[in-house]
Structure 1
C-alpha cells in the first residue's frame, strides 16, 4: 500500500515553525510513516486504528489520522519540547 502524508499549507507552516533539529527528525518520521504508519506509531487514546501518535527525535510528538481507505495520513498536531 502506498501511504501519503498530507502536506497542507498549514502543515508546512507548522513544520517550518519547528527548530531545524525537529524538522529533520520529523522528515525522517514522515518517510517511515509513508512506508508503514502502523509500524512506527501507536494508538492515541482508544485503539480505533485511525487516531495515532508517533514520536520524532528525542522531544517530538506527532498526532495524526491514518485512513486505510484512502492511504492518507493527516497530521493533527506537532509538539516539540526540546
Structure 2
C-alpha cells in the first residue's frame, strides 16, 4: 500500500503554529503513518477502522480518518499540551 497524508493549507498552518519539538514529533508520526497507519494508531471511539488516534511526542495526540480505499489519511485535529 502507498498511504498519503492529506496536507491542506489549514493543516500546514496548524503545524507551523506548534512548537518546534511538536512539529518534529508530528512529522515523525506522519512518516510512520504513511508506512502503516494501523500499526501506529488505535481506534478512536468505536473501531470502525476509519477514525483513529495516534500519539506524537510526549504530549501530543492526532485524530485522523484513515481511508483504506483511497489510502489517504486525513488529519482532523491534533493537540499538543507540552
Q: TM-score, normalised by structure 1?
A: 0.99
Instruction: Indicate the RMSD between aligned Cα atoms, in angstroms.
Output: 0.2
Structure 1: stretches of 5+ with no match in the other structure: none
| Cα distance, 1:45 vs structure 2 | 0.1
* Number of residues of Structure 1 aligned to a counterpart in Structure 2: 82
Q: Which runs of 4+ in 1 moved over 3 A?
A: none
Correspondence for 2:62: 62
Query: CA–CA distance in 1 between the matches of 2:18 and 2:12?
Result: 10
What stretches of structure 2 of length at least 5 have no aligned partner?
A: none
Normalised by the size of structure 2, how large is the TM-score? 0.99
